[in-house]
Amino acid sequence: MPFRYLNHSCQPNCELFSWETDDSPPHVRLCLQSLMPIEPGKELTIDYAWPADAAIPCVCGAAGCRGWIVSQEELVLLLLDVG
């Protein structure tokens, strides 16, 4: 899985895209795209955007850290469960 090379951040510097080819059998292709200029040697990060039922505490340190590794859309579900 490509996630082993990319750490999570609530304010990531990259996005990971996937699509299925028209080959027979189909193959899944992945593309990593930067969201901003990235200095050489800088860590590559993506937003894991996990569902609320798989969320774990986040320690990414980003200014806008959600406090949980969870999708922005499901954060409210997690906060209702915790709060």
- Condensed to tens digits (0 to 9), the pLDDT of residues 15-64 reads 988 899 888 888 888 889 999 999 999 999 999 999 999 999 999 999 99
**Total domain count, the chain:** 1
pLDDT of the residue at 82: 57
Boundaries of domain holding 18: 2-82
pLDDT of the residue at 56: 93
pLDDT tens track for 54-76 = 999 999 999 999 999 999 999 88
β-bridge partners, 17: 31
- E strands in 7-78: 7-8, 14-20, 28-34, 45-46, 56-57, 68-69
Question: Which CATH number fits the domain that encloses residue 63?
Answer: 2.170.270.10
